[in-house]
Each structure stands twice: as structure tokens, then as C-alpha cells.
Amino acid sequence: MDTTQENPIVTPNTDNTKDEIEPDGGVGGGEPDSIDDDNDGDPIPSGTGTVSKECSASELIGWSEILPKWHSKLNQRPKGLNPLVRNGVPEPLRGEVWQLLSGAHQCSDLMEQYRIYLTKSAPTEQIISRDVHRTYPAHENFRSDAGSDSLVDSLFKVCKAYAVYDEEVGYCQGLSFLVAALLLHMPEEQAFCVFVRIMQHYGLRDLFRNNFDELYLKFYQLERLLADNMPDLYQHFKTINIEPFQYASQWFLTVFTAKFPLNAVFYIMDVFLLSGIETIFQIALALLSASKQELLALDFEGVLKFFRVQMPKRYRNQEHVQQLILSASEMSLKKLKAYAKSYEAMKRKDKLLENPTMKLENAKLTEAIVRLENENDSLARDLIASKIQLRSQLDLLEDKTEILNRALTYSRQDCQSYLNTISDMEDERSRLEIEVSQLKEVCRRELQRAETELQRNGKIIEDYKKICSQLSRRLDYHKRCSEQFVEITQDLLRDNESCTDRTCLELFRSKADEFTENLKSDTVAIGEPDSSPSTSNCDSPLSADRKSLLQRKASSESDHNRRPVGAYVKSDSQSTSSELKIKQLTEHIDELEVELARTKLALVESECERQQLAHDTPTLQNNDKSASGLSNKFEFMRSAISSASSSMAASNRSKEVQISGSRGAGGALSRINNLISEKISNISQGQQQQQQPLPTTMPNSTSTPAFTNSGASWFGSKSNSSAITNNNRNLTNNNNTLGAKPIDENEHQC
């Protein structure tokens, strides 16, 4: 069977670049870590897996004994090294042990030349730059955003330096994974030296030379080993047309570093550096043996997918890796050399039978296949990268969408809350507008009523001032007349000492009637606003009686001494009885005046309460309830004034027309007015202490100046209409009691 002709894999590249062809997407590309590992349809990203840096004390003891001996003899491996390496090199020691196993100490001159290689240019720099960004994308140190810890630049430098160093092989896709595994354990200069040793002394470089003839040999050897160890699986692969290059190419070219987890990669590298390229055959047979049952149950596509997806995922567990290494160490490779000789003989035979025309056509077809598979490989890697990028963007957009949906929900809730608040505020505003309009209407009506009442009260106050002035003059006139009447009466009683009580009473009544008639006749003249009382008016009704009294007094003086003593005694008793009657009348008048004073005090208190309510009137503009309360207070004030007026009218009706004989009437009125003035001043002081002055003054609310009535102060207000009306009525009643007729029509109107 001519493997070279029937299953061509690679051909030389004119720019010293060899491309590995693998149907699962190639070894040159990697998958980012955004792929879901639990999804059986997607492979795990390259560079996946974490390696523990912890190791047991027994392992450290074994390595602590071997390493000093090894450093003393670098060209000779110490005894007991193989079991330690096959059990796994501790992660902290891997960098040092790998350098010792590979013999990098023998290439110290390469470290000095490494910097020189970096200064030169390589024809494959563009390919290297593309591949380094696809290498181990799941590892944080090989990401573009890793910052100072990024190993991408070091990976590019090592690959470029080797391409300059080995011009025959140059750079091949898949080598970046092997270099990346080295850079995770040592600096770039040492990694370059170890990589050169692996390529040169472990036979890995030969796989890329001479049109991959050595790689074809490895495939043939693996196929013969599979037929000897697992014939049923070998026959199944032949049945479904599965060739070794379809699943084993990356195993040989990358030493299992491209697809498997890092914990398995590092463990395999330990054994590879210890035993050489034969380790790849052992690991390959162990993998096929462990997955034999699954592979026998799969078809062509299922087998390829299993090698690409399920098989690498199985070895994320460290125990499975250890079992794999243990199983690989038991695989026998004694017939490898015999298989190599058989392959060489088969190649010579095929070469003799080969037609030059067919050879040329096969070469052309091989080139076409390589070109197409390279394109397919590149497209597959781009597709995977695009898929991963789109998946990442989709996840990001889904997160943003979820955040925006939550924000939209919150915004809708806030908008609904704001709409409800606005609706409530609109209802409240409408209600307040209605209340304000109602309050404005109430205030307007109250203001009109107050203005009308103030105008009417102003007129009443003016009339009341005139009436008080007239009454004051009339009172003075009556006082003087009363004093003259008392003097005349006393003189008459002294002149008629011998008269009986009846005679005296008749004489007193006649004089009183005469005095009353004269007083009524002079009331009109005295009550005029412009007229003023005069001495002649006061003396006119009594001038005739006084003259006759003086004549009688002169005529009776001559007989005075001739009267007996008993006459004087009788005259004194009569005079005493008259004085007692006058005294009783005076006391009765005082009582009536005291009652009148109490009634006036009640009126003053009502007036003070009304003034307090007048100060509270502006609150009607802010609260409609205060309007109804103020109306109730006005009704209460009116009822109080009405009751006070009724009590005053009742008291005035009980008075008798006996004020003409009161000598002490003027003094009682003076005391009453003083009490009223004191009461008013006390109430005014209490209001000033309890109330703050209002910021605004009610319109047309001015206080009326005080006026004097027989030495008493009387304060009025334009709003005191009810009290003034009642007082005018009481004064009219008093005037009628004294026998005076009404002054004018205004008095009756008041």
C-alpha cells in the first residue's frame, strides 16, 4: 500500500513553512476560553486547565537527593530518575528539570546568539504573528489584555529566532504550542535553548523535512502497532476509512500540546523529555486502548469528533492522566525498527512500479489537496474564532439587554408613580381652585357688607357725637336747674315753717309741676346744636319765685322773734322729713345709675369682643371655615348686645321722674363714668398684652376719637353699630324720663 500516494498529507512550502493538515481544524489555531466545556459539540479551548504547585514531602525528598548529583554531573543522568519523572515532576521544579533532561546546558552559546537572531528578519514573521494570538487563548498569560504578565511577545520572539536559526525547517504551524508550554516554566532565552534541543536531538525536526517522509513513517509504524495490539479497532478503522494521519498528525507534530489540558500536556512532556519520541507511540496506543469501546461504536464522523472533542475532555482529571502514563509505559515498541525497514522496502517497491505520468499527476493533486486543506484549515480556525467572538458578544449583549430591561421596568414603574402623583396633584389643584374661588366670593361679600356697615356706622357715629354733645349740655342745664329748684324749695319750706305736712306737700308739688313745665318749655331751645346754655335761660323759670321768696323772707323777719319755741321745733321736724325724702330719692337715683353703669360695662365688654373678632377677619382669605366661625361670633355679639340693650331698656323704664330733686346726681354720674373709663382702659391693656398686631389693617377700620360726657371718656368705633344704636335708644329713654322731648328725627332713627 502506497501511503504517500493514496494519503498525501503535506508538501514542502517554498517559504520554508510546513503546514500540518488535520480535518479537525488544524493545530495552528486555538479556541478561546468562552466555549462551554459541558457542551459535547465543542472542543475545550487550548490552554485549559490548572496545575497545582503543591507536592508531597516524599517527592521533595527524592528530588532533593537527585538534583545535587545531577548538577555535579550534567552529562550523566542520576539513578532513580526514571520513576520520579514517570510519577510526575513537581510544578515548581519543572523548568529546571526540563532543561536538565533536554541537555540545554550543552547549548550555552545559543543564549548568546538568541539576541542576534532577534535582530534579523524571518520570512514567516506574518504567519508567526497570526499563530501566537491563537495559541493557548484560554490561558491568562497569552491574552492580549494580560498586561506586563503577557507572554505573547516572548512567544513571537522565540518562534522568530528559531525560524532564523533553522532556515531549512523555518516555522511550522503547531510549533507555537510547544514553545508556549516551555515559556510557562522558564525565561525566553532558556525556552529557546530547550526548544532547539527538542527539535534537533529528539527527532521532531525530521518530521518536517523531505516532504514529511519521516512523518509518513511514524503513521505507518503506529498503524502496524495498532494492528498488533488492537486488531479489532484496526479493522474498524479500515472499514470506516479512518487513516492515522486523520487523528495522529497533531500528536506527533505538537507532542500533544495543542488539544489536551495543560495538566496532561506537562505530564506528557515530562515523559517525552525523559524517553524521547517513542513516548508519542506509547501515549497514542494508550489513548486508543482507553477509548477502544467508544471508538468501535462510532462511524467515520463520530470517530473524528471523538478525537477532537471527547478524548481531550476526559483527561482534565489528573487521575486519568496518571493512569494514561502508567498504561503507556506498559506498551511494547520492540517492532518499531522492523516496521521501519518494512516501510522502506515498500517505498522502494512503489517507486519502481510508479509511472512518471501518474507521479506527476499525484504531485499536482497532492499540491491541490494541500492547498485546499490549508484553506479549509484557515477557514475552520476563522470560523471557530468568529463563533467564539460572536458567542462572547452575544453573552455581553444579553447581559446588557437584561440590565436595560430591568432599567426599563423601573422606569415604567417610576413613570406610573409620577403619573399617579400628577393626577393626585391635578385633583388637589382643582379642589384648591374651587376653595379659593369660594373664599374669594365669601371675602368679597364680607368686604362689601363691611364697607356698607362702615359707611352706615360712620353716619351713626357722627349723629351720636351730636346727640352726646346735646345731652351733655342738657345735663349741665338740668343740673343747674335742679340745684336752683332745691334752693327755692328749701327757702319756701323755711318761710312756711308753720304749715302742715299736707300744705307743704301741695306746695312742693305745685312748685315741682311749675319747674317741670318751665324745663320742658326751654328744652327745645337748649337742645339746638348751635345754642349754648346761658345763665338767663337757667334763671328765667325761677326768677319770679325767687323775688317773691325774698319779699316774704323780709316781711317774716320781723315776726321771727315773736314766735314761740314750739314753732321752731315743728319747723325743724318738717324740714327734717323733707330732707329724708330727698335723701331717699337721691339713694334710689344712685342705685339706678349704678345699674346703668353695669349695663354700660357689659356693652363695653361686648365692644371689645367685637374688636377682637374684627382683627381675626383676614383669616377668611386662607380658611373658609373661619368665615363660618366669624359669622357665628358676629351672631353671638349681636345677641349679647341685644340682651344688654333689653336689660338697659328695662332698667330705664323702672326709673321715676325724680332726678330733678337730686343734689348728688352730678357726683353719681361722675363716679359711673370714671368706672367705665377704668374698665375700658383695663380691657384695652389686656388686649395689647395678649394679641400681636396684625400685619395688615382692615380696610376702612378706623377708630373713632374719644369724646367727653360729664367728665367721662367714651371710645367708639365705626363698626360699633349695634352698641351705638342701643346707647342712643337708652339716652332717648333717659331724656324722656327727665321730661325732655326728642331733639330731632335723627335721634329716633338711631
Quote the CA–CA distance of 245 and 361 in Å, as a whole number.
Answer: 22
Q: How far is CA 424 from CA 415, 416, 419, 428, 437, in A?
A: 14, 12, 9, 6, 20
Q: What are phi and psi of 149, to 5 degrees?
A: -85, 0
Query: In the prediction, which pLDDT does 686 show?
Result: 53
122 within a domain of the structure (yes/no):
yes
Query: In the prediction, which pLDDT does 40 show?
Result: 53
623 within a domain of the structure (yes/no):
no
Type and span of the H or E element at 65:
helix 57-72
Same domain, 328 and 459: no
Comparing CA positions, the residue from 471, 449, 476 lying closest to residue 750 is: 471
CATH of the domain at 323: 1.10.472.80
Buried b (16+ CB within 10 A) or exposed e, 254-292: bbbbbbbbbbbbbbbbbbbbbbebebbbbbbbbbbbbbe
288 within a domain of the structure (yes/no):
yes
Same domain, 416 and 438: yes
Same domain, 277 and 380: no
Same domain, 387 and 454: no
Query: In the prediction, which pLDDT does 437 show?
Result: 93
49 within a domain of the structure (yes/no):
no
Q: How far is CA 380 from the centre of its chain?
A: 53
* Block residue for cell numbers 517505498: 347
235 within a domain of the structure (yes/no):
yes
Q: How far is CA 108 from the centre of its chain?
A: 69
Same domain, 184 and 255: yes
Domain boundary among 435, 467, 483: 483
Query: In the prediction, which pLDDT does 126 show?
Result: 87
> What's the grid cell of residue 667?
357726683
The total of structural domains in the chain comes to 3
- Single-letter code of the amino acid located at 616: D
126 within a domain of the structure (yes/no):
yes
688 within a domain of the structure (yes/no):
no
Q: Which residues of the chain have pLDDT under 70?
A: 1-41, 146-149, 354-355, 495-505, 507-509, 511, 518-578, 615-750
Same domain, 156 and 77: yes
Dihedral (Cα; 346, 350, 353, 359), 10-degree rounding: 180
Domain boundary among 444, 468, 492: 444
Same domain, 305 and 395: no
631-635, Cβ contacts within 8 angstroms, sequence gap of 24 or more: 633/609, 634/610
**What residues contact residue 670 under an 8 Å CB cut-off, 6+ apart?**
710, 711, 712
Domain boundary among 333, 353, 373: 353
What range defines the domain where residue 473 resides? 450-483
97 within a domain of the structure (yes/no):
yes
**Burial (Cβ within 10 Å: 0-12, 13-18, ≥19) of residue 566:** exposed
Same domain, 269 and 286: yes
In this predicted model, what pLDDT tens digit does every residue of 441-454 receive, in sequence order? 999 999 999 999 99
Same domain, 332 and 240: yes
Three-class secondary structure assignment of 216-240 = HHHHHHHHHHHHHHCHHHHHHHHHC
Same domain, 131 and 275: yes
Quote the CA–CA distance of 46 and 137 in Å, as a whole number.
Answer: 6
Beta bridge partners of 712: 709
Same domain, 203 and 258: yes
- Single-letter code of the amino acid located at 671: R
**DSSP letter string, 684-727:** HHHHHHH-PPPSSPPTT--EEEEEEETTEEEEEETT-HHHHHHH
- Residue 174 — left, alpha, or beta (φ > 0 → left; ψ -120 to 50 → alpha)? left
Query: In the prediction, which pLDDT does 504 show?
Result: 66
- Residue 711 — left, alpha, or beta (φ > 0 → left; ψ -120 to 50 → alpha)? left
In this predicted model, what pLDDT tens digit does every residue of 17-41 receive, in sequence order? 333 333 333 333 333 333 344 445 6
Same domain, 372 and 470: no
Q: How far is CA 652 from CA 530, 577, 664, 736, in A?
A: 29, 28, 19, 10
Query: In the prediction, which pLDDT does 563 show?
Result: 45
